[in-house]
A and B are shown apart, each in its own frame.
Chain A
């Protein structure tokens, strides 16, 4: 499998669920509790599909085409609908246990949470393991602490004018070549550059960051500049949570040497650079974990779900 080639040799033998490189738990499982109503964006990880799964998909697509040619329009629709749900189900399931998925026929067994639209008599294949993760879901949801976003106001700005006519701005060109502006609601800070680009920091959610950036743009507009709101993009998200038990950092750095950096002479925490998703975690002895480097919220949740079983392994001292 593609992903196993990139794993270091020692990690392939580990019993711990899929180490840190594969998503052990499907991120769109209905069992994942998410704080706000924001639906998680699915991770575009087509590269993680194994060759076997690729073959399966291609074969299923071929079968789909064959059946469409043979049967009538209505039956084709039925088949297509049912195949798509089972395909989805099959994809989700094969993320869990690809080695079981040998047969080329479609499955009848619906996964919990996905109901097939049309019940159909199709030959059953080898049973798929239900979509429960190898380890229990942690039940802890990381809280977002900071969002950094950028937006292009689309016009050149005169920073002196802005600093003069805005109450909430500070501008010290000798120290930094941008105006630092703050608003109270949402409590954020923005760096506004003369090129028209702006960085907005301090928001606690993506929507708040967007709202705050719009407010800054409106302030700049009212100051007389033709400000627009182009290319709003979230650049970084920081989250934190507490696993509520102490962690033996020395042990963790020994077993996960490839990913961890623990230098107590420099910093009290362990810096864990997870490959998939590309997130940096700061793990402290008190059990508090800081996750940063995410572009979307789901990456933070996925990273925490990946690290939680690893940390539980270091829970007992002797």
Chain B
């Protein structure tokens, strides 16, 4: 290097500017002695010229997977394993989580929401593959609130623009029924309560189909209906021993939580069965009630399509009532049983309306049609009308006095 620099060791003038990584150094090319070196660290005054960039505005986010996303992806895999889902589900759920994480709204969300997001991704994956997973199950596993879960779920579906199919009822019945611990003899379950799985499954499926046809499933949470149907199926398979068992006790033996609306659904389902029973001649004479009809569920289910058509008329049109009655009678004769080969005196009960229970109940309050008001919006507003909303000075003084007294009494500073 020109300029009169000499190496202190060998005295040569051949000094080279060479940097050792980020540290600039002046090195003698003859003996290798480091003559001077630059500063490795910056001083405070130097740093004053530097500008800090927040992580979110740097490219660091795109270059690496953030720790919270890694945690979330791990949680997704864990949840899939806990639920014993097929391996392909895991990859799809992970992909959804990653896709969701690209949106800034999700990246900046609270940890609670990110936790719930894990469940949402798994739920969407299961729904798309017809795997019956309920939101209640996921919320229990994640210790999450259903409200928080529902908000995040709706947001995610909208954000990703996904088509999520409805919960598959048949699959849910199979999975849920299999979880009832009544298929093997055990010390806690009396011998007569043990039941064959296949028989119970098929009968429960038929009962759930019947409930769906008669408007008991639309708009309602599916699980209580399935619980009620399982209970009825189980009871009807050996009614003599099982009629004495209540729904609550049944769920306890089966080691399954009893959802609260299940008893309501049970009553509704029994009402439908009773209505169907009225169409069968040999059951009409027995004058069944909600307990005794259970014994005949097998027969009723065997002819359920015919019976539903004849027992119920379309709730919408009165014109079709007579048509359906005629159809029902015709169908009955085709089936061949003596359901409608009746003596002259007895007729099948008049069809009830096939409507959702909410339409059958009397309306809670009279919906009065609003009177046509002739308000223009520009009327004069009288002073007296406004005065009624203002406090008199005396009232103001009284109110202030009362407030002060209240504050003194509680002796808690009450910022107004």
User: Is chain B found bound to chain A in the same assembly?
Assistant: yes
Is the CB–CB distance between B316 and A315 below 8 Å? yes
- Asked if B385 is at the interface of the complex by the 8 Å CB criterion, the answer is yes
Is the CB–CB distance between A186 and B390 below 8 Å? no
Contacts of B136 in A (CB 8 A): 265
Is the CB–CB distance between A211 and B379 below 8 Å? yes
Q: How far is the CA of A290 from the CA of B378 in the complex (A)?
A: 29
Q: How far is the CA of A206 from the CA of B218 in the complex (A)?
A: 36
Is the CB–CB distance between B315 and A246 below 8 Å? yes
Instruction: Tell me which residues from 258 to 304 in chain A have a Cβ below 8 Å from any Cβ of chain B.
Output: 258, 261-269, 284-287
Is the CB–CB distance between A245 and B316 below 8 Å? yes
Contacts of B354 in A (CB 8 A): 317
Q: How far is the CA of A207 from the CA of B373 in the complex (A)?
A: 9
- Asked if A205 is at the interface of the complex by the 8 Å CB criterion, the answer is yes
Contacts of A97 in B (CB 8 A): none
Contacts of A269 in B (CB 8 A): 219
Is the CB–CB distance between B416 and A160 below 8 Å? yes
Q: How far is the CA of A285 from the CA of B361 in the complex (A)?
A: 14
Q: Which of A222, A246, A250, A285 contacts B166 (CB under 8 A)?
A: A250
Contacts of A181 in B (CB 8 A): 389
Instruction: Tell me which residues from 273 to 317 in chain B have a Cβ below 8 Å from any Cβ of chain A.
Output: 314-316
Is the CB–CB distance between A264 and B377 below 8 Å? no
Q: Which of B135, B167, B359, B370 contacts A286 (CB under 8 A)?
A: B359
Contacts of A245 in B (CB 8 A): 315-316
Contacts of B167 in A (CB 8 A): 264-265
Distance to closest chain B CB from A239 (angstroms):
11
Q: Which of B153, B222, B359, B370 contacts A246 (CB under 8 A)?
A: B359
Is the CB–CB distance between B135 and A265 below 8 Å? yes
Q: How far is the CA of A160 from the CA of B134 in the complex (A)?
A: 50
Of the listed stretches A83-91, A115-123, A164-172, chain B binds A164-172
Is the CB–CB distance between A166 and B157 below 8 Å? no
Is the CB–CB distance between B381 and A215 below 8 Å? yes
**Contact residues of A with B, CB < 8 Å?**
35-36, 143, 160, 163-168, 173-174, 181, 183, 185-186, 204-211, 214-215, 218-219, 222-223, 244-246, 248-250, 253-254, 257-258, 261-269, 284-287, 315-317
A-B contact pairs, 23 of them (CB 8 A): A35-B372, A36-B373, A143-B370, A164-B400, A165-B391, A167-B391, A185-B385, A204-B370, A208-B377, A210-B377, A215-B381, A245-B315, A246-B355, A246-B356, A264-B221, A265-B222, A269-B219, A284-B358, A287-B359, A315-B316, A316-B314, A317-B213, A317-B354
Extra contacts besides A166-B391, A218-B381, A249-B218 (7): CB < 8 Å: A143-B370, A181-B389, A204-B373, A208-B377, A263-B135, A268-B219, A317-B314
**Contact residues of B with A, CB < 8 Å?**
134-136, 146, 150, 153-154, 157, 163, 166-167, 213, 215, 217-222, 314-316, 354-356, 358-359, 369-370, 372-373, 375-379, 381, 385-391, 395-396, 399-400, 415-416
